[in-house]
Structure 1
């Protein structure tokens, strides 16, 4: 039997609003779009690959590719380099350019990724490098771009401190231990470091934050799985075990859990909240992209 808060939380997962929301307008004032998704972090995104080797079950990019027939459920994990995008000279904007946003940096595409990043950095971009980090990849990036430390902010996606949990939801991505080692390596070498705990993949987020904070110079961002069951369905993750784990995750991340977590961490200046949590705890949301705030 689900309690009311679990039902409300599930509805937020299944019917959450689009990535860009619209603010209510009064007195004839033009409506302003509220920032969400990657817009909270960066003024623009950069990608050159269709597909992702990590093949995460909850992946929004995969669901969009499947819906619009750019990929199939099975072919998503096959990375296809878009040569035209790889060579494109992206216009510089204020704030961060997020790379990547719809795929990841894998050992297999590393050489292409280094080439792509080099072009961005030489053109003056500040890059927000968002990845489920392979240690060998992070070592190569740090070695290749040591002289660009002031223009790179790593944001490692780590949704749980439990490798079994990560492996269930992100079957071909690195373990927690490898991600933590990657974070420590970048931090030790003096790079700017941050973490995305979006989606949080269990209810042990406070423990995760405490483990990661010593190696974070910027912030840990926390967010909930959005439209989880709907995306799982599109992505073909409809097996019984996944359905059970999804129900358990939604139930565990109740409104009370969110508010309790927020209460314990809200005074920490290195913890920030994604739009999925801002809406619950009534944090004002920006209408300007790329503030990373």
Structure 2
């Protein structure tokens, strides 16, 4: 594991459903090829020269030190802190990263700051010792393992993600799933209801389309396809008393 240091950590996010966030890792081993927006931005701004470099994550060694300095400054402004928008806090197969994320969450909780976390890895069982003010989620865009191995090559198997989320749900934590970026049928033919059934226990669903992929625009009536799925998500969540968020640009008339 390579280490880097940073001068700052906490910052206000521009993501429409976020508040404050931090990214205590640079890069991500999962190697998502949708393409990955985080990698696209890293390459644009010179933080990674290639996907191979991006897939060799670097852990911020002074994250706790920075947090102890920044929490008093931002505490009264923060509603919650999200881990993470440009990397994965529970990167599959990286115990050091997972342990660092848990330490960060516990420090924020000690200061009465709730955390949200999203992963394509496995949510560690050790999270059951964190505060119930936290909310934990997984990304799940399919149940097709062949698709995962091709497009999220080093991420956790889909059902292992679901099972780790269900464990925390059963321990009393608020849980959620991000069904994004969801592929069009010319990329992957699948039954959307199967995904909903697999995550029927969660408290919230976020849904978003696949962007930056020309195959989407090649699919006839792709906007109708996404509009129909948005309506299905809303109907399902209202029927089952779940919260939901539809990502900007997914639904258009």
Instruction: Name 2:157's counterpart in structure 1.
Output: 175
Question: Is residue 175 of structure 2 the alignment partner of residue 160 of structure 1?
Answer: no
Q: CA shift at 1:199, angstroms?
A: 0.5
After alignment, is 250-259 or 177-186 more displaced? 250-259
In the TM superposition, what is the alpha-carbon distance from 1:205 to its structure 2 partner? 6.1
Provide the C-alpha distance between the structure 2 equivalents of 1:55 and 1:84, rounded to a whole number of angstroms. Answer: 25
Larger radius of gyration: 1
Q: What residue ranges of structure 2 are gaps of 5+ in the alignment?
A: 1-12
Q: Residue 265 of structure 1 aligns with which residue?
A: 233
Whose helix proportion is higher, 1 or 2? 1
In the other structure, the counterpart of 1:101 is: 85
With over 3 angstroms needed to count, the CA separation of the structure-2 counterparts of 1:171 and 1:191, relative to structure 1, is same
> Does the alignment pair 1:78 with 2:50?
no
Question: Aligned in 2, Cα 1:53/1:259: closer, same or farther, shift over 3 Å?
Answer: same
Query: Partners of 1:63 and 1:94 in 2: how far apart?
Result: 28
Superposition TM-score, scaled by structure 2 size: 0.78
**Does the CA-based 8 Å contact 1:157-1:195 persist in structure 2?**
yes
Q: What SS is found at the alignment partner of 1:56?
A: coil
Cα 1:224–1:248 change in 2 (3 A) is: closer
- Provide the residue aligned with 1:277 in structure 2: 250
Q: Which residue of 2 aligns with 1:256?
A: 224
User: CA 1:249–1:213 in 2, change beyond 3 Å: closer, same or farther?
Assistant: farther
Q: State yes or no: 1:196 paired with 2:164.
A: no
- C-alpha change, 1:177 and 1:209, in structure 2 (3 Å) is closer
Q: Which segments of 5 or more consecutive residues in structure 1 lack a partner in the other structure?
A: 1-36, 230-246, 282-293
Indicate the structure with greater strand content.
2
Deviates most, 252-261 or 47-56: 252-261
Deviation at 1:275, TM superposition (A): 0.7
- Counterpart for residue 42 of structure 1: 18
CA RMSD of aligned residues (A): 2.3
Aligned length, in residue pairs: 220
Of structures 1 and 2, the one with the larger relative CO (CA 8 A, separation 6+) is 1
Residue 250 of structure 1: CA displacement?
5.5
Q: Which moved more, 1:207-216 or 1:104-113?
A: 207-216
How far apart are 1:86 and its partner, in Å?
Answer: 4.0
User: In 1, Cα distance between the equivalents of 2:161 and 2:232?
Assistant: 25
Partner of 2:219, secondary structure, is: helix
